[in-house]
Structure 1
Amino acid sequence: MARIRQLVPPVILIVGLVLSSCAPQQTEIPVIPDAPTEVPPPLITPTPAPRSLTICLGEEPNTLYPYGSLNSAARSVLSAIYDGPMDVLEYGYEPIILEKIPSLEDGDAQLASVTVREGDDIVDADGNVVSLSKGMKLRPRGCRADECVVTYDGVSEIEMDQMVVTFTMLEGLQWSDGAPLTADDSIYSFELASDEDTPVSKFLIDRTQVYEAADEQTVQWWGMPGFIDPDYFTNFWMPLPRHLWAEESPADLIRLDLSSRLPLGWGPYILKEWNSGESLRLTKNLNYFRAESGLPRFDELTFLVIPDPNAALSALVNGTCDALDPSVRLDGQVGLLQEMEAQDQLKLLTAQSMTMEWLGIGIVPATYDDGYNPQRDRPDLFADDRMRQALTYCLDRQKVVDTVLFGLSQVPDGYLPADHPLHNGNIQTYPFNPEEGAQILENIGWLDSDNDLSTPRLSVGVTGVPGGTPLVFNYYTSSATQRHQVAEILRNSLAECGIGLNTVFYTAADFYAQGPQGPLFGRQFDLAEYAIGVNSLEPQCSWFTSSQIPADENNWVGTNISGYENPAFDTTCGEALRSLPGEPEYTSHQEAQAIFASELPSIPLYIRLRVAASRPDFCGFTLDASSTSALADLETFDYGPHCLP
């Protein structure tokens, strides 16, 4: 320790010297003062440069209001702002901000018994929401088939089924501004969706008796008595920020920047800036509920809008883009992308989508609705199931998949893809077989009278068709490039069976115009190529039920554009859709597929592709055939040497 030194007055110093000269001498031990301790300069830790990710979109989001009519780019951007509430993976649901997916087996979903009487709101035997009164048909508790339907007498009390589902949210969730995210925010979302000014389907809302918060984390959904929903575990409305939006009207939220351009979320990123037509800039959400796991991987996220696929591909190669979203229309570039992947210039990602391409058959044109008149109406070409079967055998759909889709999709045998859990693998199939198709046509009465298949067959004794009618169909579709390619392949394959084709290409607006003017929904075609997509994992047999035929009485709205009617199919499909997994009637899904495959109301051509690309050292990015969200796992995206194989 360093000594403490003091100043000594001079007089005292002299006296001290005299006295010391008379005292005995002692050996003086010199003391070396301690050297001052050197303090090292503080170490300066360099601040790491922010990590940034750039994803290129093929279009600009049309809105970011969750209840707007979202385009593909909007759904991708919203994946960064929100996360969940649940994701879809391989035809199953995964909880994201919920503790679990409710189930009847676990008890957080229940099929309860409820007593109804006159005047109560119920769902009747036909699936309509009604106020119960005398003469109405309903399904008592446990009834799924039509045989057990009863007619209400106007006075009795009847027990009906009611579904009750409990959703439990994760604890400690926060909005990106730090406010608590609670069950009440889901209730607010339900209230918005219920408002007449919010442009969303009211089907489920109308069949909801109560949607309420049991506590800060728990929401309960009560269905209307009589409403059996196989998708019950999805009936959770994504939370929306009541604390920020409550003062605005539902009509205003559609257009306000607060909700449509800079919405508040709870996901991995926060939207900071939107430069119209150019880019959207986001930063990491420090209040993200998975932040402690090191997510998201990047500090900054930028979405660049590059509509031209060639320009987007160049931007990926030169490093401007780290990944290309499926909204960039790369389906026509797959061959080039495969070559570039082989040269380690990029990584190609493909998957089937939830959209199927169909060839609609004009079984019952709209002109038949007031009765078939052979003097006025088109010949009844497709009434015979065998005609539709022969037509399917004569379509080289596999060549379409191999040529147009580079072999990356599949030819479906019905309205479900082959990997769907409820797909019936034992239904009738129709591989390309022009010999089989030609034989069926001969049996019906469509004969190759001149033994020259380059000319169309002629009718000889075909029911509902005048003799000598050439077997030539009008083929209507939109003018998209891919449909030009498909039509040409199908025209050539049909010619091998002696079937002629007149192709007519419309603008998309004209082709999909509302009936009766539009050719598709107005049911004014022989054959029509169209696409239809789905957001639910439940089989969509209802697309081909008689209630879905577009006609004057339903304002020409419906998916059954062929005009197909079969009471047996309607009944089987209905039983399946109002049954729950494990119930006997749920197996009706298998029977409905078998009826469809035999009678072919429309012909499934192929399942559309979803295509994306990234830099070679990119990881975490996958495409799932059953999910409508391409960027659902955005928070796990990463790149760098650690991502290479």
Structure 2
Amino acid sequence: MTSSAARRSLVLIAACIVGAIIVAGSACTEVNPRRLDIGWSESPQAGLNPFLARNEGDYLFLGLIYEPLCMPMMDGSVEPWIAESWEFDADRNAWLFHLDERAHWSDGTPLTADDVVFTFETVYAGDFPMGSTTKAFVKSVEAIDAQTVRFAMNGGFAGALPLLGGTLIMPRHVWADVDDVAQHPNETPVGSGPFVLEEFQPRSFLHVVRDADYWRGPARIDEVVIRVFLNLEAEVVALMKGELDLMPDLSGSEALIPPLEEDANVEVLLDRWPHIFYLAPNHRVDPWGQKAFRQAVDLALDKQAILDVSLAGYAEMPLMGYVPPLVTRWANPSVEWRGAGMTETERLAAANGLLDDLGLTRDDAGLRRTADGEPLAFTVSSLTYPSYIRAAELAKESLAKVGIELTVQVSDPETLYGGIVFSGERPLDWQLLVHGSTLHPDPDHFAREFAPVPPNPWDNAVAFGWEHEGLQSLLRDSRTEMDDARRRQMIQDAQTLFAEELPVITLGHRLHPAAHRTDTFTGWNPAKVIYGGMVHPLGSIVNLLSLEPI
């Protein structure tokens, strides 16, 4: 945590920002007291097309309308949902899912095994994001009867249950006649979830209303509106003014947490979370592709300052093997940051020694240059989140001390992620990125991000231009290893190699902050659901179905 003086300073700054915005804001609009208003920081990149869902924003929005076979939980357990049970048939090397016969679509059509088969065949044929994690491991998907689906596997697949089970299911009778699934706007979605669409305005809001005939029993709230805020300070103010009921994720605005904690009508939840906050280099850009250069940068960074200042102390010091310490079953606690326990003088001396050995000499102004005379001057890209921007600024200050110049460039998530880094079409249009990921409790997530089969531009290794045959081979083998002890050793060894190789430079592990008002709804249930990209407890459908108005 920060020192008390630093924390008081952050509180004062945040209070001034919040106060100024409240004074400038308008009065709260009258709304249905049975309507839940949620704030979110970006528009879903998939729009209303669930086949394109790839990140947590997509699943937050679309998870109100569509549902998975089962609900993977952060503790590694899996809860029934559309599927009421499942088992693994070792003789056939196949998973069987048995569907709840009550399940039906919002237009009244029964939800059957044919819908499940259609969903997986479509995502595999179209190479859609939803299927990228499982396609290589599934031989076939077959409807045994109306309520039973069999997934025949290609060899072993250790992460099969949560990844197959966590896939959103689509109605065959709606999508089968769509000519181009990838381009379909899906303006009148038919789902199996507890809400149906009322209105959607990209980059503005999603409005859904309760389905009174929802097969699990109707929700106790009438409507849900998710409002998009590109300014996190404004989102916090909206919560304090009563214009929002819930912020399921305060990550990125940690400095604004103290004023919320002082609000009698707001409860802030702070959880340890398997999050990795890191700098991602573009390995295609010289000299970021050189391991020794990445190691020098790693040592030069003042990570304690980054955690204390940019994340307001709501974070843990990093393990460098990518798997965060909360995932105790799989994390390798020996891969601590090399700079831990070193003074700043010692860290900078070690970093300068590595840079000198690479032949990156300083000019008269102190800026390092390559042998060809090119300056070590780079752009570090950041999202609009305050904590990301501040982390980029602190990285700039740290690296200036070893002769590396950074310029901070801020972009909104849709432009930076969808348009550049993860587009697969502009690989050289960025150099360094402040980024974060939340790791699924099963380490298959780690493996598929850095050793994807098949490769896809939304996987980190592909997006960042990183390759390492030894480490990637180990990760790929871990995905098919069904012996738990051998698989655990593979993941441990992979973290050791990762900490040496540094495909990304871990800054720390953020806590997960969320906040809700206490004077509008009751029954808050922060169940730690982690299907697809949806990892925010208070934003999960499990929580929303628990709520009722006060």
Q: Secondary structure at the match of 1:271?
A: strand
Q: What's the Cα RMSD here?
A: 4.3
Q: For residue 228 of structure 1, what is the aligned residue in structure 2?
A: 156
Residues 93 and 504 of structure 1, relative CA distance in 2, 3 Å threshold: same
Q: Secondary structure at the match of 1:181?
A: coil
Return the match for 1:316 from 215, 222, 239.
239
How do residues 325-404 of structure 1 correspond to structure 2 at under 5 angstroms? 325-326=248-249, 330-331=250-251, 333-350=253-270, 356-360=276-280, 382=290, 384=292, 388-404=294-310
Partner AA of 1:163 in structure 2: N
Task: Measure the CA separation in 1 of the matches of 2:105 and 2:421.
Answer: 44
Task: Measure the CA separation in 1 of the matches of 2:352 and 2:90.
Answer: 54
- Deviation readout 1:489-531 (Å, 9 max, x if unpaired): 2343446xx51221134563566775786154xxxx6xx2343
Return the match for 1:239 from 169, 188, 205.
169
Assess if the C-alpha contact under 8 Å between 2:399 and 2:405 holds in 1: no
Instruction: Please state which structure has a larger fraction of its residues in helix.
Output: 2
Q: Secondary structure at the match of 2:260?
A: helix
Give the alignment's TM-score, normalised by structure 2.
0.73
Task: Measure the CA separation in 1 of the matches of 2:53 and 2:314.
Answer: 29
Q: Secondary structure at the match of 1:430?
A: coil
Q: Does structure 1 residue 297 correspond to structure 2 residue 200?
A: no
Q: For residue 323 of structure 2, what is the aligned residue in structure 1?
A: 416
Higher RCO (CA < 8 A, seq sep 6+) = 2
Task: Measure the CA separation in 1 of the matches of 2:315 and 2:62.
Answer: 27
Task: Measure the CA separation in 1 of the matches of 2:115 and 2:95.
Answer: 18
Assess if the C-alpha contact under 8 Å between 2:379 and 2:407 holds in 1: yes
Q: For residue 559 of structure 1, what is the aligned residue in structure 2?
A: 462
How do residues 198-597 of structure 1 correspond to structure 2 at under 5 angstroms? 201=131, 204-205=134-135, 207-224=137-154, 227-233=155-161, 234-236=163-165, 238-246=168-176, 248-251=177-180, 254-256=183-185, 260-274=186-200, 279-291=205-217, 296-305=219-228, 307-326=230-249, 330-331=250-251, 333-350=253-270, 356-360=276-280, 382=290, 384=292, 388-413=294-319, 414-420=321-327, 421-432=329-340, 433=342, 434-438=344-348, 440=350, 446=356, 473-480=376-383, 482=386, 483-494=388-399, 499-506=402-409, 508=416, 518-520=428-430, 528-531=432-435, 533=437, 537=442, 538-541=444-447, 558-559=461-462, 561=464, 563=466, 565=468, 567-582=469-484, 584-597=486-499
Task: Measure the CA separation in 1 of the matches of 2:197 and 2:502.
Answer: 48
Residues 573 and 302 of structure 1, relative CA distance in 2, 3 Å threshold: closer
Pick which of 616-625 and 74-83 moved more. 616-625
Partner AA of 1:64 in structure 2: L
Partner AA of 1:265 in structure 2: G
Task: Measure the CA separation in 2 of the matches of 1:366 and 1:548.
Answer: 24
Give aligned-pair identity as a percent.
22
Task: Measure the CA separation in 1 of the matches of 2:71 and 2:306.
Answer: 32
Pick which of 338-347 and 64-73 moved more. 64-73
Task: Measure the CA separation in 1 of the matches of 2:258 and 2:460.
Answer: 41
Q: Report how far residue 186 of structure 1 moved.
A: 0.8
Aligned length, in residue pairs:
488
Assess if the C-alpha contact under 8 Å between 2:74 and 2:529 holds in 1: yes
Q: For residue 138 of structure 1, what is the aligned residue in structure 2?
A: none
Give the alignment's TM-score, normalised by structure 1.
0.64
Residues 111 and 546 of structure 1, relative CA distance in 2, 3 Å threshold: closer
Q: Secondary structure at the match of 1:63?
A: coil
Q: Secondary structure at the match of 1:588?
A: helix
Task: Measure the CA separation in 2 of the matches of 1:299 and 1:361.
Answer: 46
Task: Measure the CA separation in 2 of the matches of 1:223 and 1:398.
Answer: 45
Q: Report how far residue 94 of structure 1 moved.
A: 2.2
Q: Secondary structure at the match of 1:416?
A: coil
Task: Measure the CA separation in 2 of the matches of 1:70 and 1:602.
Answer: 21
Residues 343 and 499 of structure 1, relative CA distance in 2, 3 Å threshold: same
Q: For residue 37 of structure 2, what is the aligned residue in structure 1?
A: 54
Return the match for 1:638 from 537, 542, 547.
547
Q: Report how far residue 300 of structure 1 moved.
A: 3.3
Q: Report how far residue 604 of structure 1 moved.
A: 1.1
Q: Report how far residue 557 of structure 1 moved.
A: 9.6
Task: Measure the CA separation in 2 of the matches of 1:280 and 1:512.
Answer: 24
Pick which of 209-218 and 57-66 moved more. 57-66
Q: For residue 5 of structure 1, what is the aligned residue in structure 2?
A: none
Q: Secondary structure at the match of 1:419?
A: coil
Q: Report how far residue 383 of structure 1 moved.
A: 5.3
Question: Which is higher, the Rg of structure 1 or of structure 2?
Answer: 1
Query: Where in structure 2 are there 5+ consecutive unaligned residues?
Result: 1-31
Q: Report how far residue 609 of structure 1 moved.
A: 6.5
Task: Measure the CA separation in 1 of the matches of 2:119 and 2:274.
Answer: 26
Q: Report how far residue 589 of structure 1 moved.
A: 0.9
Q: For residue 23 of structure 1, what is the aligned residue in structure 2?
A: none
Residues 199 and 249 of structure 1, relative CA distance in 2, 3 Å threshold: farther
